[in-house]
Homo-oligomer: A and B are copies of this chain.
């Protein structure tokens, strides 16, 4: 069957413009698109690495590219993160401070110790502040790793016995 063309969907035209000939969106195309929308709130390009992480999260058919429905799902997730981010970026600088990032992660519902929070925030900071694209990379990874962990923690004991190979598979692909 030919792919469905949702002609009445207002995002379809936008999607096809970005996707180009192959009808799917890769990391470079997503980066251009997100930089143009100005979603990061700064004048710097949106991180290509974050685009790759986001595509890896949604790319269920493992092509490294996004189809139309995956693209819409990504935009919905990004809107949620942007709202969350702006709640903490009170001065509209396009960045949040470490203690605000810490509150934001807690607001997402994760139960993480101060020690782990500090390590995470240090990893995603530039000169002591966190930009939106790094914030998104952090949120996507935290979600993927937590989901991987919970799937294996079937008795909900808060602990999982990992074999080395499974540990590497879980952690290297995000």
Contacts and interface: CB of A to CB of B under 8 A. Distances in A.
A145 B168 contact: yes
A172 B49 contact: no
Q: How large is the interface on A (under 10, 10 to 19, 20 to 34, 35 or more residues)?
A: 35 or more
A173 B27 CA distance: 23
Interface string A139-174: 001100110010001000011111111111111111
B56 A173 contact: no
Given A64-B122, A115-B169, A167-B149, A160 B159 contact: no
A140 to B, nearest CB: 11
Q: Please tell me how many copies of the chain the complex holds.
A: 2
A162 B163 CA distance: 11
B122 A62 contact: yes
Given A49-B47, A159-B164, A161-B161, A173 B64 contact: no
Q: Which 4 A-B pairs have the closest CB atoms?
A: A116-B169, A49-B49, A119-B173, A171-B171
21 contacts: A64-B122, A111-B164, A112-B165, A112-B168, A116-B166, A119-B169, A119-B172, A119-B173, A120-B169, A123-B173, A138-B172, A141-B172, A145-B172, A149-B168, A159-B161, A160-B161, A160-B162, A160-B164, A161-B161, A170-B171, A171-B174
Interface of A: 26-27, 47, 49, 52, 56, 62, 64, 110-113, 115-116, 119-120, 122-123, 125-127, 138, 141-142, 145-146, 149, 153, 158-174
